[in-house]
Amino acid sequence: MRFKASIQNITTFTKLTASLNSLGPLAWVKLSEEQVCFTIIPEQGTQVWAVLSIDSIFETISVQSAANNVINLEVPLASLNRALKSAVNATSAQIRLTKKDNLPMLALTIVTTTSSNTYSAFPTGNNDGFDTAFDSNFSGGNRETIVTQEIPVRVLAPDTVAHLHEPACREPDVHIILPPLMQLKSISDRFTKLALADTKTGSTTTSARTRLEIAANMHGCLKMSIRSDAMNISSIWTDLNNPELDPGHVAGGENGIAEHPSTRMKQLGSADGRSDEGWAVVRIDGRDWGKVMSVGRLGGRVIACFCHEHALILYVYLPNDNGEDESVLTYFISSYSA
Determine contact, residues 184/255, Cβ cutoff 8 Å.
Answer: no
- Within this chain, do residues 282 and 310 fall inside the same structural domain, yes or no? yes
In total, how many domains does the chain have?
2
Below-70 pLDDT ranges, the chain: 115-141, 198-209, 321-325, 338
pLDDT tens for 8-66 read 999 999 999 999 999 999 999 999 999 999 999 998 889 999 999 999 999 999 999 99
Is residue 111 in some structural domain?
A: yes
Is residue 88 in some structural domain?
A: yes
Q: Which domain holds residue 73?
A: 2-118+142-161
- Within this chain, do residues 313 and 262 fall inside the same structural domain, yes or no? yes
d(CA 115, CA 122): 21
pLDDT at 302: 96
pLDDT at 203: 46
98, 129, 161 - which closes a domain: 161
Pairing of strands 92-100, 103-115: antiparallel
Determine contact, residues 309/326, Cβ cutoff 8 Å.
Answer: no
pLDDT at 224: 96
pLDDT at 171: 93
161, 194, 222 - which closes a domain: 161
pLDDT tens for 274-313 read 999 999 999 999 889 999 999 988 888 999 999 999 999 9
pLDDT at 214: 97
Domain of 201: which CATH number? 3.70.10.10
Is residue 183 in some structural domain?
A: yes
- Within this chain, do residues 148 and 229 fall inside the same structural domain, yes or no? no
Is residue 215 in some structural domain?
A: yes
pLDDT at 324: 56
- Within this chain, do residues 113 and 178 fall inside the same structural domain, yes or no? no
- Within this chain, do residues 12 and 91 fall inside the same structural domain, yes or no? yes
pLDDT at 198: 67
Is residue 137 in some structural domain?
A: no
Is residue 193 in some structural domain?
A: yes
Determine contact, residues 229/202, Cβ cutoff 8 Å.
Answer: yes
Model-level pTM? 0.85
Is residue 169 in some structural domain?
A: no
pLDDT at 116: 62
Side-chain-side CA neighbours of 202 within 13 Å: the count stands at 4
- Within this chain, do residues 108 and 201 fall inside the same structural domain, yes or no? no
pLDDT at 192: 85
